[in-house]
Structure 1
Amino acid sequence: MAEEEETELSDDQKKGIAKWFLVNAPAGEIQYVSKDLKLVLNDDDVYNEAASEAFPVYNKSHLISLKMPGGFGDVLVTSYGELQDNEYLDPKTAQVAIVDHVKQACTKVRPATDEELPSAYVEEYRNGSWRTIWNIEFKDDIQKLELNGKLLVGAHYFEEGNVQLDTKHECRDSTMFQSPDDTAISVANLIRRHETAYMASLEESYFKLSDNTFKDLRRKLPITRTLFPWRSTRQFSLKREISEELGIGK
């Protein structure tokens, strides 16, 4: 039978695959992934198109923090502060950061016209990210506030293995509307309570992974309770054992 001819991928297919790998790179590791992809593709045009589309999606989904020039501090790259494709508002300093998504760098800043409350954020660590998005709805008729939270957590562990965590948790809560100061304190306490509880549940899950799940996935010793002699496997003969069992050759 004649060998099937290999069909080369089109540029669009290559770009789509490259985008998938970039968008799904672990937290803090997209630059490493992009470097390898560029070598694999060996086509600058395809790589540049994929990177220009994938990096903005990755940066905004991971809520990355970039240092602004001029000593203005850091800006969060999010869809909530996005003014244009590469411009992001930093409400704390009332500056607009112009961002190079592929280089993951803020190239310059300009004064902003919007004045909004600063957004708090959790400092990112190289191989993990904690992202929370809270929406608050005011129920004026019943003097009530409803909170809807979405917690997104990603982690990557690769010491003698490759384990990734990508999880999402949604929660709801409410509080009565009081004075502005008291309401702000109540909302902050509710957010703190939900995030602390979810963090505790993740820690408990990790303890169970270490004590139970990983032990079930891999045995330290085989059922014989002895290490397999990899360097002297010739002493074992599957053919001989099967022949003896079936009585072949007798």
Structure 2
Amino acid sequence: MSHLEEVSAFIEGAPPGELNDVVTDIKILTQNEPEIVDQLAPAFEKYNEEQFATVKLPGSSQPVVISSHNSLGGGRYFDVESSSSFDFDHTTQAASNVQSHVLEGAQADLVKSTLKSVGTYVNEHYPNAAFGVYPIESDSKVAVVIVANKYSPNNFWNGRWRSLYIYDPSSGSLEGSVKVDVHYYEDGNVRLITNKPVHASISSGTGAGIAKEISSAERKYQEELNKGFVSLSEGAFKGLRRQLPVTRQKIEWDKVTGYRLGQDLGGGSSKR
């Protein structure tokens, strides 16, 4: 693996909301090779598209999604809801040169109806999210993208929920996945990364039917996550370490130099 590939791997593994921090660290680590950062454009593009980066178009307050599914090539993307296309700088994550982009084609009506139904679902169930619906694979299928971010650096955690679904009108199949990435980094590093596959069949073939199936799948997965957290807290986490020392009292760390570890913390006599 080349030096550039190693540095690119740092970009691709950046936790939610921490890309700028990773870039800052890379600049420090490669200060003798400042040209490295200028060569990271492909890594930034891959990261932004895979992580469903969001951007607000000039003059708009509504975030739009960046993904491979709404890419026009050459760093240009389109948004169905605003009927526009735009340039996106993957390094600065800024949009520019907005132009009209009217959706046409065999799936245009299905895309628009799905966008409306998914929008209603997202607004009801997510406190802050961006979404998009796009025709893909030569206008033979429809992609649905949902991304929700919650950043709380003051409390040392950041998180991202990503959903991607591909609907095939010819078979009525809905294939997708839900990915959750949460990073907690106070006095250490704990990271949760999940990937839940979704497989469903939609008989109605309407935008409302697609949104209903997405709602059902995501509700079930959230319930699974909630049960999993309870299980970890009451089971595996407790098995990893004691909640309290054997004395059943918390350590007073400001007085730790006064402890005789064997006797005071072990609860027994200490051999000198």
* TM-based fold match above 0.5: yes
- The answer on 1:30 being equivalent to 2:55 is no
Contact 2:147 / 2:163 at 8 angstroms: preserved in 1?
Answer: no
Q: How much does 1:55 deviate?
A: 1.0
Q: How much does 1:137 deviate?
A: 2.1
The residue type equivalent to 2:103 in the other structure is D
2:216 corresponds, among 193, 196, 199, to 193
- The answer on 1:176 being equivalent to 2:203 is yes
The residue type equivalent to 2:99 in the other structure is R
Cα distance in 1 between the residues matched to 2:233 and 2:97: 46
Cα distance in 2 between the residues matched to 1:193 and 1:37: 41
Per the alignment, residue 47 of structure 1 pairs with 37
1:63 corresponds, among 44, 52, 65, to 52
Cα distance in 1 between the residues matched to 2:169 and 2:100: 31
Q: How much does 1:199 deviate?
A: 1.0
Q: Which moved more, 1:32-41 or 1:102-111?
A: 102-111
1:212 corresponds, among 208, 214, 235, to 235
What runs of 5+ residues in structure 1 fail to find an aligned partner?
1-11, 245-250
Per the alignment, residue 190 of structure 2 pairs with 163
What SS does the corresponding residue of 1:80 show, helix, strand or coil?
Answer: helix
Per the alignment, residue 176 of structure 2 pairs with 149
Per the alignment, residue 16 of structure 1 pairs with 5
- In structure 2, the CA distance between the partners of 1:148 and 1:107, relative to structure 1 (3 Å rule), is same
Contact 2:15 / 2:183 at 8 angstroms: preserved in 1?
Answer: yes
Number of equivalent positions = 220
- In structure 2, the CA distance between the partners of 1:114 and 1:224, relative to structure 1 (3 Å rule), is same
TM-score (norm. length: structure 2): 0.71
The residue type equivalent to 1:88 in the other structure is Y
Cα distance in 2 between the residues matched to 1:109 and 1:235: 66
- In structure 2, the CA distance between the partners of 1:218 and 1:39, relative to structure 1 (3 Å rule), is same
Q: How much does 1:73 deviate?
A: 3.3
The residue type equivalent to 1:158 in the other structure is Y
Q: How much does 1:210 deviate?
A: 2.3
The residue type equivalent to 1:69 in the other structure is P
1:134 corresponds, among 165, 172, 178, to 165
What runs of 5+ residues in structure 2 fail to find an aligned partner?
116-131, 134-145, 152-157, 263-269
- In structure 2, the CA distance between the partners of 1:185 and 1:107, relative to structure 1 (3 Å rule), is closer
Aligned residues: CA RMSD: 2.7
TM-score (norm. length: structure 1): 0.77
Q: Which moved more, 1:158-167 or 1:14-23?
A: 158-167
Per the alignment, residue 123 of structure 2 pairs with none
Which runs of 4 or more aligned residues in structure 1 lie more than 6 Å from their structure 2 counterparts after TM superposition? 226-229, 233-236
Q: How much does 1:235 deviate?
A: 8.2
Deviations 1:74-109 (A, max 9, x none): 221000001113111011111112111111111331
Contact 2:52 / 2:147 at 8 angstroms: preserved in 1?
Answer: no
Per the alignment, residue 231 of structure 1 pairs with 257
What SS does the corresponding residue of 2:44 show, helix, strand or coil?
Answer: helix
- In structure 2, the CA distance between the partners of 1:108 and 1:213, relative to structure 1 (3 Å rule), is farther
Contact 2:177 / 2:196 at 8 angstroms: preserved in 1?
Answer: yes
The residue type equivalent to 2:178 in the other structure is L
Q: Which moved more, 1:216-225 or 1:31-40?
A: 216-225
Deviations 1:181-206 (A, max 9, x none): xx332222111111110011112112
1:77 corresponds, among 66, 70, 87, to 66
Q: How much does 1:223 deviate?
A: 4.5
Cα distance in 1 between the residues matched to 2:175 and 2:7: 34
